[in-house]
Chain A
Amino acid sequence: MSIIEIGPVFKRTDWLIIALSTSLTVIGIMFIYSSGINSVGLLVSDEYKKQIFWAILGFILLIITLLVKPKILMDYAFWIYLGFIVLLIYTRIAGRVVNGSRSWIGIGSYGIQPSEFAKVATIIFLSKYLSATKHEPNTFKRFLLSVLIAGIPFLLILAQPDFGTAMVYIPIYLFIAFFLGINGKYLAFTVGVSATSILFVLLPLWQNLIREEPINILRIFYEAPYVYYLFALLSVVFILALLGHIYFKKRYYYWILFSIIIIFIGLILGLAAGKILKEYQMMRLIVFFDPNIDPLGSGWHILQSLTAIGSGGLGGKGFLLGTHSHYRYLPTQSTDFIFSIISEELGFIGVLLINLLFLVLLFRIYMIMKSTKDMFSLGICSGVSSLLIFHYIVNVGMTIGIMPITGIPLWFLSYGGSALLTINIALGLVLAIGSRR
């Protein structure tokens, strides 16, 4: 990196991306301000000031990242990654507990969430590994190692335990693997395992809390003795299919094996998650099915959020005039539920604008992805896209009651330094790639 480069780099930088991200950040600050106003009209929170500070710092980080040659990042990718893994381990052991997860480190009242920054580190290292091994796209080793790269931080964050943040590593992996050519079979396998394990986590909850009269046959998937019989049965089928595969070399034996392994792993992960997840986390997952099941507990949040959004109508109640949010019916409204307050005060028109800003941003990043010349850059861009898309789906989905409450922030808009810095660094990477293609 040298000073001489600044001029040409700026010349080729996609300033529209910066304009979009700045617009979103400004809107975010406005509504963090709005959420700090209480029922009497007094400002009771100075979060918006802190957010302005973070925004400025984020912008500086974005420019710095933009000026760093992607090549340098590639060279140090492993060390960056390793550094954050160590940090995550340290956090797990000595971090500060916030909302039941040991996810913060810091000094005094200042703190960061390493799990946020580790997302970028994982994107960089995963992109590097997959681009370095692009000549052997279909090997199992490549698949296994790449899963491991995403899997280590995933497990460390899951152990904090921060279910929501850990989940983000799944789309990161899938996106990068999708664009950097991991065999479709392996991807199908990853998706299959993720889906089945989530299914087996939710199954007992759904049975006990929603249906109340469990369907007996489904109890074999989670209840103590039956599930062991199921494992035994699966093992027998597995061995038979394996023998069939070896001796008869028929295609369908292969797919039977494939499915059984997915179910097997899904079952184990599902059972393990059932043990790891805390009660309130379970409850949030359940409320996702039916907010009315616990209208004063976890379901309360979803109902209040929906009420705020719905009452916003087409044109909204006007900036600073949302009743539902100012009377503090919305929980954590400056972070998780920032979208609700925006929807209440700006209405559907404002919501459409936000959606459009995100969509155009993603298109601009896609333009960079399309024109990039190396696999590493493609990986980074797809990884950053996955961050943007997944957080949007889950956070907005949560506020309108179609996704479980997981505490995933909405980029640019939600209050929080770690998230804002992270996405600025991530965008800086994309812009750095874009200005050097």
Chain B
Amino acid sequence: MISLIDSKKRVFYILALVFIFSSYSIYLFYIQVFKSSEFTNRAISISRQTEILPSQRGEIFDRNLDSPLVVNNDSFAVLVIPAEIPNELKPTVFNKLAALLDIPLLDINKKIPVSYYRMYQSIEIANSVSQELVFSIAERKDEFPGVSWQSKPRRNYLEAGSFSHIIGYVGEITRDELKILFNKGYQSGDIIGKSGIENQYDELLRGKDGRQFRTVDVRGRSVNQPNLDVIPPVMGNNLVLTIDRGTQILAEKALGDRIGSAIVLKPATGEILAMVSWPGYDANLLMAKGGNNYFASLLNDERNPLINRAIQSHYPPASTIKIAMTAAILEEKAFDPAERVLCAGEMTFGDRIFKCHILKPGHGRLNLQQALAQSCNIYFAVVGHEKLGIERIVTYYRDFGFGEATGIDLRGEASGFVPTPQWKERRFNEKWLGGDTLNLSIGQGYMLSTPLQIANMLSMIVNDGIIYKPHVLKEVRNQETDEVSFSYSPEILWKSSITKETFDQTKENLRSVLLEGTARYPLANKVVQIAGKTGTAEVGLSDRWHSWFVGYAPYNYTDINDVIVVVVMVEAANVWEWWAPYATNIIFQGYFAKQLYEDAIRELKLTTTVRIQAGRIE
């Protein structure tokens, strides 16, 4: 049979055919048999989508557990799956979303560039969206193809104001934080506590997100499959603070709009009942829209509203240190407490004149009790320098906890400072002089202390030698069952071997400060007997001083658990009104008479207006 195709072509054609089909078959064999398991895994993983079941961050309560200080509000993130919006509708949908959510269209376009238009992955375009807005999207679902939402509870700080410094605030984890915390299971996009309790106990509060694995099709629609893999979320713990809401508000108002701080603590346990620092900030504003601008304005504010002055600032303790000095003199029997020292208003020491706050002719002759009551600098300077000596002063100050952080469960605590001759030589290459001892004896010079350390000093007196570690966490409770999983038991921070007689005598002397001494008038109080000490720290200004008061009440307590220690510190930056003693009195009045601030000042016949004082008062 003669063919029109010559044999060369025939062979070529048949070979080509066989080659094509066999090479394809071999390649398919390679994919389907050799590489099959790899592709099978890929087929499973790509169609298995994990859905995060969000855990609820714990709520925060005050010590009375009546109503929360911090709750989680319903809030939503709005998500867009670009490929589900028909291309011709994209501009319209984006415009509508921008208008509805009140965000710039540019933001949406930046988050969803054209290259993402075919993507089936959801992109978050807005968060902190209210339920009402989400409902209005849901009602018009057909106008918003590819738009979905996800519950993202928002922290709501019911008590802002002075509470913000204690509780802090939360925010999205930063890259730097993630580097450190990654091993603890944190992930990018996590909400993390940035300061205060939120930061300190983040791991207790945050809980753990659950996961649900779904088999999905390309559009993310779930496919009915019986074997659902679910890892349930673990709810965060509720925290109960030692803070008493009423006392905190009382202290906040007592301090008023004055740069400074106030602390109310229970010496018997170290529990902080109130801790106020002014100026403060509003944690809610930080998380609301424009929070970044607010944060920037806080950073730029030269009054440093972000600083918690009660623990993060330290100052010269001034005359409040005479409490520790009194205890030291008594305990060391360095000087007969009944013996008098002459205060002539000033004394010459070396080539410089050392002045008391009462100028010539001065306090006259004073014994230890009178010197404390009148806050005489000359007495303590002379006895401190001549009888006690620098070594013993430093030792006693250290015993009272000065120069070391208290370890309170809030971040960024300052440690204060107790100078020593060795330090001065190292630091300035200068010899420690008698004048330095004089200064140290009256809490001036190099010494620095936080308000909390001052409160601790008095706590030791009240507790007869024990300082409990101050703390703001009281209990940890399970969010679902409300069971207490952890309860803070008092922890001894410092223990002193000073005798009870010394403490009792010191307490008596402190009481005399209010009976006959410097604090007699500002702390006149009918509700409770107070003992305490004023302090007025030199800051180099001629008409303004740091104003301190630290006191405790009731003076003659039968049960140590009834006692509270209050410290108020008003910075010299304010108008001079010698406010610390008054503020302290308001707090005692309100606390023991169970009165609100307004009732307390009426009772004390104080006005809330600024009362400018003419000169320095101890």
Report A177-208 CB contacts with B as 1/0, cut-off 8 Å. 01100000000000000000000000000000
Residue pair A310, B38 in contact (C-beta under 8 Å): yes
Residue pair B221, A309 in contact (C-beta under 8 Å): no
Neighbour of B218 across the interface among A40, A329, A358, A359, CB < 8 A: A329
Neighbour of A329 across the interface among B10, B13, B31, B46, CB < 8 A: B46
Residues of A within 8 A of B35 (CB): 310
Question: How far is A325 from B220 in the complex, measured between Cα atoms in Å?
Answer: 14
Q: Name B93-152 residues within 8 Å CB distance of A.
A: 115-116, 118-121
> Binding site of B, secondary structure by majority: helix, strand, loop or mixed?
helix
Residue pair A343, B32 in contact (C-beta under 8 Å): yes
Neighbour of B223 across the interface among A40, A178, A306, A355, CB < 8 A: A40
Q: Name A290-324 residues within 8 Å CB distance of B.
A: 296-297, 300, 304, 306-314, 323-324
Residue pair A309, B39 in contact (C-beta under 8 Å): yes
Neighbour of B217 across the interface among A313, A328, A366, CB < 8 A: A328
Is B27 an interface position by the 8 A CB rule?
Answer: yes
Is B3 an interface position by the 8 A CB rule?
Answer: yes
Residue pair B17, A309 in contact (C-beta under 8 Å): no
Residue pair B43, A324 in contact (C-beta under 8 Å): yes
Residues of A within 8 A of B121 (CB): 296
Is A118 an interface position by the 8 A CB rule?
Answer: no
Is A421 an interface position by the 8 A CB rule?
Answer: no
Question: How far is A343 from B24 in the complex, measured between Cα atoms in Å?
Answer: 13
Report B8-27 CB contacts with A as 1/0, cut-off 8 Å. 01100110011011001101
Known: A40-B224, A329-B47. A313 touches B32 (CB 8 A): yes
> Binding site of A, secondary structure by majority: helix, strand, loop or mixed?
helix
Residues of B within 8 A of A278 (CB): none
Segment with Cβ contacts to B, from A84-92, A122-130, A370-378: A370-378
Central interface residue in B28, B33, B121, by most chain A CB within 10 Å: B28
Neighbour of A178 across the interface among B9, B29, B39, CB < 8 A: B9
Question: How far is A307 from B46 in the complex, measured between Cα atoms in Å?
Answer: 10
Neighbour of B24 across the interface among A306, A327, A355, CB < 8 A: A355
Known: A178-B9, A329-B217. A313 touches B40 (CB 8 A): yes
Residue in chain B with minimal CB distance to A134: B4
Is A413 an interface position by the 8 A CB rule?
Answer: no
Residue pair A389, B17 in contact (C-beta under 8 Å): yes
Report A388-425 CB contacts with B as 1/0, cut-off 8 Å. 01001100110010100000000000000000000000
Residue pair B40, A311 in contact (C-beta under 8 Å): yes
Known: A310-B39, A310-B40, A314-B33. A355 touches B47 (CB 8 A): no
Residue pair B5, A378 in contact (C-beta under 8 Å): yes
Residue pair B17, A39 in contact (C-beta under 8 Å): no
Residues of A within 8 A of B42 (CB): 307, 310-311
Question: How far is A347 from B42 in the complex, measured between Cα atoms in Å?
Answer: 16
Tally of contact residues, B, Cβ under 8 A: 43
Is B216 an interface position by the 8 A CB rule?
Answer: yes
Is B187 an interface position by the 8 A CB rule?
Answer: no
Known: A310-B36, A310-B39, A358-B21. A39 touches B223 (CB 8 A): yes
**A91: min CB distance to chain B, Å:** 24
Residue in chain A with minimal CB distance to B35: A310
Residues of B within 8 A of A329 (CB): 46-47, 217-218
Tally of contact residues, A, Cβ under 8 A: 51
Residues of A within 8 A of B156 (CB): none
Residue in chain B with minimal CB distance to A348: B32
Q: Name B29-76 residues within 8 Å CB distance of A.
A: 29, 31-33, 35-36, 38-40, 42-43, 46-47
Is A351 an interface position by the 8 A CB rule?
Answer: yes
Residue pair B31, A400 in contact (C-beta under 8 Å): yes
Known: A329-B218, A355-B24, A355-B25. A297 touches B5 (CB 8 A): no
Residues of A within 8 A of B602 (CB): none
Is B308 an interface position by the 8 A CB rule?
Answer: no
**A298: min CB distance to chain B, Å:** 9
Question: How far is A355 from B9 in the complex, measured between Cα atoms in Å?
Answer: 23
**A97: min CB distance to chain B, Å:** 13
**B47: min CB distance to chain A, Å:** 5
Residue pair B3, A371 in contact (C-beta under 8 Å): yes
Residue in chain A with minimal CB distance to B13: A366
Residue pair B21, A355 in contact (C-beta under 8 Å): yes
Residue pair A369, B223 in contact (C-beta under 8 Å): no
**B95: min CB distance to chain A, Å:** 25
Residue pair A393, B20 in contact (C-beta under 8 Å): yes
Residue in chain B with minimal CB distance to A399: B28
Residue pair A179, B9 in contact (C-beta under 8 Å): yes
Question: How far is A110 from B28 in the complex, measured between Cα atoms in Å?
Answer: 36
Question: Which 9 A-B residue pairings sit nearest by Cβ, starting from the closest?
Answer: A310-B39, A327-B217, A311-B43, A39-B223, A348-B32, A313-B36, A39-B217, A311-B40, A311-B39
Interface residues of A (CB under 8 A from B): 38-41, 178-179, 296-297, 300, 304, 306-314, 323-324, 326-329, 343, 347-348, 351-352, 355, 358-359, 362-363, 366, 369-375, 378, 389, 392-393, 396-397, 400, 402
Interface residues of B (CB under 8 A from A): 1, 3-5, 9-10, 13-14, 17-18, 20-21, 24-25, 27-29, 31-33, 35-36, 38-40, 42-43, 46-47, 115-116, 118-121, 215-219, 221, 223-224
Q: List 20 A-B contacts (CB under 8 A).
A: A38-B217, A41-B224, A178-B9, A296-B116, A296-B121, A310-B40, A311-B40, A311-B43, A324-B47, A327-B47, A328-B217, A328-B218, A343-B32, A348-B32, A352-B28, A359-B18, A371-B1, A375-B4, A393-B24, A400-B24
**Other A-B pairs, 6, CB within 8 Å; known A310-B38, A369-B5:** A39-B224, A40-B224, A312-B36, A352-B28, A355-B28, A396-B24
